[in-house]
Chain A
Amino acid sequence: MPEVRNDEVEAWEPPTEAERAARRRRNVAIALSIAGFMLIVFLVTVLRLGEYSLARPF
Chain B
Amino acid sequence: MAVIETTLRDEDARGAGIGTSGWRDYLDLMKPRVMSLVVFTGVAGLVASPVELHPLLAAIVILAIAAGAGAAGALNMWFDADIDAGMRRTRTRPIPAGRVARSEALSLGLIVSALSVILLLLAGGILAAVLLAFTIVFYALIYTMWLKRSNDQNIVIGGLAGALPPAIAWAATGAPMTLEPWVLVAIIFVWTPPHFWALCLYQATDYARVGVPMLPNTAGPGAARQQILLYSLALVPLGVTPALLGTGGVAYAAVSVLGGALFLLLVVRVWRSRAGDVPDGDGSIYDAAGAARPARDLFAYSILYLALLFAALIAEHAFGLHVPLGWSV
Contact = CB atoms under 8 A, between A and B. Distances in A.
A23 B38 CA distance: 31
Contact of A4 (B11, B18, B56): B18
B100 A4 contact: yes
Contacts of A48: 57, 122-123
B119 A41 contact: yes
B150 to A, nearest CB: 30
B15 interface: yes
A11 to B, nearest CB: 10
Contacts of A58: 121, 125-126
Nearest to B128: A58
Nearest to A12: B14
B36 to A, nearest CB: 20
Given A4-B98, A15-B10, A40 B63 contact: yes
B115 A37 contact: yes
Given A14-B10, A40-B63, A5 B17 contact: yes
Interface stretch (B20-28, B225-233, B305-313): B20-28
Interface residues of B, number: 31
Given A1-B97, A15-B10, A23 B18 contact: yes
Contacts of A1: 20, 97-99
A9 B293 CA distance: 50
A47 B13 CA distance: 42
A31 interface: no
A47 B18 contact: no
B277 to A, nearest CB: 38
A40 B122 CA distance: 10
Contacts of A35: none
B16 interface: yes
A7 B15 contact: yes
Contacts of B60: 40, 43-44
B119 A12 contact: no
